[in-house]
């Protein structure tokens, strides 16, 4: 009975070591998958903040009242600044 218990214990121990190695490898794989996803999502959020969408139009009287941005033509139309993107 004792010899069987020693053999069974070695079998359990080797199984646990192999299982723990697989868990470490899976954790590394998940790290390599999740980090690019997080990086791309943060990049997407930053790009959306830098977009040309302006939710509130700025009031103006002349074209000089409108703030200039690189790559855009800005004119005053009907009392509000309107931006046109250069292509």
- The per-residue pLDDT for 9 is 54
**Residue-wise pLDDT tens digits, 22-71:** 888 888 888 889 999 999 998 888 777 666 555 577 899 998 888 888 87
Banded model confidence at residue 84, pLDDT cuts 50, 70, 90: confident
How many whole angstroms separate alpha carbon 77 and alpha carbon 46?
30
Regarding pTM above 0.85, the answer is no
Extents of the domains making up the chain: 1-51, 55-87
| 84: Cα separation from own chain's centroid | 29
CB-CB contact of 77 with 84 (8 Å): no
How many whole angstroms separate alpha carbon 75 and alpha carbon 83?
7
**Residue-wise pLDDT tens digits, 64-82:** 888 888 878 888 989 998 8
6 token code pair: 């020693």
7 token code pair: 């053999």
How many whole angstroms separate alpha carbon 19 and alpha carbon 22?
5
């Amino acid at each position: 009975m004792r010899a069987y218990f020693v053999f069974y214990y070695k079998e359990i121990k080797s199984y646990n070591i192999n299982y723990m190695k697989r868990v470490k490898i899976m954790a590394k794989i998940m790290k390599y998958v999740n980090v690019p996803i997080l990086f791309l999502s943060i990049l997407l959020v930053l790009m959306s903040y830098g977009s040309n969408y302006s939710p509130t139009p700025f009031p103006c009287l002349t074209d000089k009242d409108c703030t200039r941005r690189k790559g855009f033509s800005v004119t005053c139309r009907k009392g509000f600044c309107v931006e046109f993107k250069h292509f």
